[in-house]
Structure 1
Amino acid sequence: MKILTGAQIHELDNYTIEHEPIASIDLMERAARAIMLAITQQWSQSTPIVVFAGPGNNGGDALAVARMLTEKGYIVDTYLFNIHSSLSEDCEKNRDRLVNGGLVHKFTEITTDFDPPKLTPKTLVIDGLFGSGLNKPLTGGFASLVKYINQSPSFVVSIDMPSGLLTENNSFDQGSNIVRADLTLTLHMKKLAMLFADTQKYLGKVEVLDIRLSKEYIESIPTKFNIIEESYIKDNLRSRDDFANKGMMGHALIIAGTYGMAGAAALATRACLRSGVGKVTALTPRPNYNIMQVAVPEAVLMLDREDYYSEAVATDDFDAVGIGPGLGRQEGSALALMSQLQQTTCPIVLDADALNMLGSHGTWINQLPDNVIMTPHPREFDRIASTCCHSDSERLNVAREMAESLRAYILLKGHRSALCLPSGDVIFNTTGNSGMATAGSGDVLTGIITALLARGYSRKNACIVGMYLHGLAGDIAAEKMGKESLIASDIIDALPEAFKRLAQ
């Protein structure tokens, strides 16, 4: 599923108008009707409603919604902000329709001073000031109005986007100048900013309203951003031949666990085994021997002579290598890591302390082999990028640039994990839940992706299928255990059910 930029959404509207064909005012009417229906399904006619409309087409949507709600018997007070005496053509038409309809309870067009209405806990506020067309942060009087809305006790519904929130990059926005909606009724598709963790406090619950924009245009236009669809995962799952043997199913190497961190090694290894690989060898320090033998009896153990990962090993017999969970940050491990990367020719997954060691050694990140896979959480990514990103959108842009320049796959972990490809494209995951915010969850992901690589998946599909499976297993575990009690091993235990669901 494609994610369009604000500019592309504007082009989509215009294309629909030209090729459906439909007049722009009638397309606005269609959008307003969808919004009105969503509101009337949740609030009764006894709810007092205040509509704030801006001078552009988002304001036109809001005015049309106000008219339709009035026709349904709702008491609606409408405020149109026309500070510069310049309304969009369709906004002006909807102003006239609202006023000339004769049913309006209260309509105020603000051109200079604004006397704000009293907003109570019973009031429903409809924010139609600015939608996806906004291209700069709000300032001045509109910023003051946003703060007034935010400090009120009213329930706030934003049309398309909370006013002040940009569709892509919000790195330089003043958070206090963005409407904090309780519900966002977005038109036709989610916008990029809706997928970031740091914007959720502005969006509230998001409902996507289908307003029948051109499918032809959406299918034809190129975009750098996409959301995984389950059909893609099902189409790209590799089937297991009935006559397969373990030698045909891949051999993975997991390099993990310093002394005292055997759990990370066990989790990554168990997840790898549960993801369909034929054989797993775990390289871990000698003190972890007894723990690993008990925790993962199916794995072959390769023991480091030190209490930490100290020496690179030959990888000719392996089909994929996962490095990093619980590895520690000793300097000897860092040197062993770089030696390992230089001599390994099969696909590599770098996670956790492998990334931290790269981050603490400056230019080492530029010496990585092509097509390496990295799975950082936000802080780990900031370390390897040698920067402090101020927003999730900024971090994604930096990750995209890094993936292109290093010819690497960077999987930014989060509730909506984002896979940045060497091409500069980004693929967002749709599975997973907050219960997976627990120690060891990332180690499980490393094991899953390493197994899929060893099975013969391409690097791209190993990452896509891997993060989807990881999140789906987490969702299944949350169904059984609840989010609060979910631990990393629950995700591993749910992997069989996740595979079964996708195979149906």
Structure 2
Amino acid sequence: MKVFSKEQIYEGDKLTIERQQISSTDLMERAGSQIFNWMHLRMQGAQVPIHIFCGIGNNGGDGLVLARHLILDGYNVNTYIINCSDKRSKDFLVNYDRIKNVTKKWPVLLSCQEDFPEIDPNDIIVDAVFGIGLNRPIDDWVKRLFVHFKSSKAFILSVDIPSGLFPDKPVTDKDAVVWAGFTLSFASPKLVFFLPETAKYTVQWDVLNIGLDQEFLLNTETDIELIGKHEVLPNYMPRDTFSHKGMFGHTLVIGGSYGKIGAVTLASKSALSVGAGLVTSYVPKCGYIPLQTSLPEAMVITDSSEDIITSINFDITANSIAFGVGIGTDTKTGNAFKQFLKKNTAPLVIDADGLNLLAKNKDLLKLLPKSVSVLTPHPKELERLIGSWTDDFDKLNKVKAFSKEHNVVVVIKGAHTISVMGDKLFINTTGNPGLATAGSGDVLTGIIAGLIAQGYNALVAAIFGVYLHGKSADIAIEDYSYQSLNASYISDYLGQAFLDLFKPPEQPNEQAEDQSKTE
């Protein structure tokens, strides 16, 4: 799914109005009507008090359209106008007149704290105060209103974006943003729904189709893409009946040190489980017996040292190499890494202490194979590579600059893992808190390396690998829960993650079907 920028959304609105020969008021009617349809499908006429707070711009106009439809359908509606400026948008004024024509209970004008209505925890608040066009700090009394929303403990539904949240800037005052339980976003979700510092302002979200121009939606290139099943499925490489293991590549996993051989085992197992034809593990001598006994499918090469990697010499042809899991940062290991990079041309996936070794000697970054290297840092490892950041937007800008400078894919691990290549961001939608466990990053490293070995390019392998990693965990928690999900289970469930790619979508219930026919 494309994630459109604020500017692109405005352009889409403009083109829709021109090409479909409708007015901006008509487009607003569509938007408000779709919110009504969404609510009506779920409420079915329930007489829960609904408090709709409308700004005086187009977001407020959407709220007025919604209020009118709810009133006409017999819902218990209270409508308020947030009088924060003397300026009103044209379409707001049109819909302000329209709502006055359907009810004697006109919208209440709010302009100070004394005006705030009482809201019961069982009520519903609809936040239609500010949309994506907010470009200034909000007034103090409006901020107090938002605090009033939160303290009421009522369910909050935001229109397009939680008011006070900027689509392209960080939050500087958490009390100046609505904390929504659900957000109904037009055309596409917003980037801020997926960033650590701003995702908390909406618990859930959904995208409403308001009939924007199809040519615009299909042909407009975006710098951000949301990755789900439909996005990864076209990249899947099916297997021929007469295929053999030599056709699916050879992954070499280099890592491990005394007490950390498990990391290599996890990475090697996941490379096999994701479909690599052959996997060889390169470890210190202390890892030989553990690997040969716990993972008989993998081959093993050992370093001359008992406890750490001190030199990297092998006579196999690897189609991908995973480096760094459990390897440590000993000086001898760092020197071995440097010598290895000088002669290596195979695609690389670098994780854990491999990243820390790069951070300690950033000249090594120049030796990474261009366009075929994938770096998979967790937040602290990322900070060592790119330096500290002031906010999530600053972090993304620094990662994009780093990716462009070194021509590498960077996988920013987190609740919504983001794969970055140049200016492009690919936001993953699978995964859950069960992945916050030792070894899950080692599994991801092996998955990506295993996909590269099969012929997936580095960026696709990162995007697809992150998706499968998260999907495996999503399936596994049905059996193990968040708390009991071990990293090895993720590899065990990769097969089910692959099978899930080809499951047909669930059929909507009859009630939903009936509703869709009337829209």
Asked if Structure 1 and Structure 2 have the same fold, meaning a TM-score greater than 0.5 normalized by the shorter chain, the answer is: yes
Distance in 2, Cα, partners of 1:102 & 1:244: 71
- Decide whether the 8 Å contact of 1:276 with 1:455 is kept in 2: yes
- Shift of residue 122, structure 1, vs aligned partner: 2.2
Structure 1 residues 113, 498: closer, same or farther in 2, change over 3 A? Answer: closer
Amino acid at match of 1:211: I
- Decide whether the 8 Å contact of 2:110 with 2:116 is kept in 1: no
Q: How does 1:93-172 map to 2 (within 5 A)?
A: 93-104=94-105, 107-110=107-110, 115-170=115-170, 172=171
Amino acid at match of 1:376: P
Aligned to 1:263: 262
Aligned to 2:194: 195
Q: Secondary structure at the match of 2:115?
A: coil
Aligned to 2:510: none
- Shift of residue 45, structure 1, vs aligned partner: 4.0
- Shift of residue 162, structure 1, vs aligned partner: 0.5
Q: Secondary structure at the match of 1:198?
A: coil
- Shift of residue 459, structure 1, vs aligned partner: 1.6
Distance in 1, Cα, partners of 2:360 & 2:425: 26
Distance in 2, Cα, partners of 1:209 & 1:103: 30
Distance in 2, Cα, partners of 1:336 & 1:56: 62
Aligned to 1:438: 437
Aligned to 1:87: 88
Q: How does 1:399-478 map to 2 (within 5 A)?
A: 399-422=399-422, 424-478=423-477
Aligned to 1:49: 50
Q: Secondary structure at the match of 1:384?
A: helix
Aligned to 2:350: 350
Distance in 2, Cα, partners of 1:322 & 1:102: 67
Aligned to 1:488: 487
Structure 1 residues 257, 137: closer, same or farther in 2, change over 3 A? Answer: farther
| Structure 1 alignment gaps of length 5 or more | none
Deviations 1:349-386 (A, max 9, x none): 10111112222335544553422210112222112112
Deviations 1:458-491 (A, max 9, x none): 2222222222222222222223333332211111
- Shift of residue 140, structure 1, vs aligned partner: 2.9
Structure 1 residues 102, 276: closer, same or farther in 2, change over 3 A? Answer: closer
Distance in 1, Cα, partners of 2:22 & 2:436: 47
Q: Secondary structure at the match of 1:204?
A: strand
- Decide whether the 8 Å contact of 1:433 with 1:474 is kept in 2: yes
- Decide whether the 8 Å contact of 1:45 with 1:73 is kept in 2: no
Structure 1 residues 50, 342: closer, same or farther in 2, change over 3 A? Answer: same
Q: CA RMSD in A?
A: 2.1
Deviates more, 1:280-289 or 1:424-433: 424-433
Structure 1 residues 341, 176: closer, same or farther in 2, change over 3 A? Answer: farther
Amino acid at match of 1:395: K
Deviations 1:126-158 (A, max 9, x none): 111112222345353322322222222221111
- Decide whether the 8 Å contact of 1:365 with 1:384 is kept in 2: no
Aligned to 2:292: 293
Distance in 2, Cα, partners of 1:22 & 1:450: 51
| Structure 2 alignment gaps of length 5 or more | 504-519
- Shift of residue 496, structure 1, vs aligned partner: 2.0
- Decide whether the 8 Å contact of 1:10 with 1:133 is kept in 2: no
- Decide whether the 8 Å contact of 2:452 with 2:461 is kept in 1: yes
- Shift of residue 81, structure 1, vs aligned partner: 2.0
Aligned to 1:308: 308
Distance in 2, Cα, partners of 1:136 & 1:402: 31
- Decide whether the 8 Å contact of 2:311 with 2:333 is kept in 1: yes
Aligned to 1:279: 278
Q: How does 1:309-324 map to 2 (within 5 A)?
A: 309-314=309-314, 317-324=317-324
Distance in 1, Cα, partners of 2:231 & 2:220: 19
- Shift of residue 112, structure 1, vs aligned partner: 6.4
1:332 aligns with 2:332: yes
Deviations 1:409-462 (A, max 9, x none): 11112232211114x212222322222222111111111111121222222222
Distance in 2, Cα, partners of 1:228 & 1:52: 33
- Shift of residue 321, structure 1, vs aligned partner: 0.6
Deviates more, 1:241-250 or 1:200-209: 241-250
Amino acid at match of 1:261: K
- Shift of residue 259, structure 1, vs aligned partner: 0.7
Amino acid at match of 1:116: F
- Shift of residue 86, structure 1, vs aligned partner: 0.7
Deviations 1:65-117 (A, max 9, x none): 1222222222322221233211000111111222233342x522245675211
Aligned to 2:507: none
Divergent runs of 4+, >6 A: none
Q: Secondary structure at the match of 1:41?
A: helix
Aligned to 2:375: 374
Distance in 1, Cα, partners of 2:116 & 2:366: 56
Structure 1 residues 496, 386: closer, same or farther in 2, change over 3 A? Answer: same
Structure 1 residues 377, 315: closer, same or farther in 2, change over 3 A? Answer: farther
- Decide whether the 8 Å contact of 2:157 with 2:181 is kept in 1: yes
Q: TM-score, normalised by structure 1?
A: 0.93
- Shift of residue 232, structure 1, vs aligned partner: 4.5
Deviates more, 1:202-211 or 1:144-153: 144-153
Structure 1 residues 432, 87: closer, same or farther in 2, change over 3 A? Answer: same
Amino acid at match of 1:502: L
Instruction: Work out the number of aligned pairs and report it.
Output: 500
- Decide whether the 8 Å contact of 2:223 with 2:424 is kept in 1: yes
Aligned to 1:58: 59
Distance in 1, Cα, partners of 2:390 & 2:259: 34
Distance in 1, Cα, partners of 2:154 & 2:121: 5
Aligned to 2:516: none
- Shift of residue 231, structure 1, vs aligned partner: 4.0
- Decide whether the 8 Å contact of 2:113 with 2:141 is kept in 1: no
1:230 aligns with 2:239: no
Amino acid at match of 1:263: G
- Decide whether the 8 Å contact of 1:315 with 1:344 is kept in 2: no
Distance in 2, Cα, partners of 1:113 & 1:147: 11
- Shift of residue 57, structure 1, vs aligned partner: 0.3
Distance in 2, Cα, partners of 1:338 & 1:119: 64
Amino acid at match of 1:386: G
Distance in 2, Cα, partners of 1:209 & 1:403: 33
Aligned to 1:69: 70
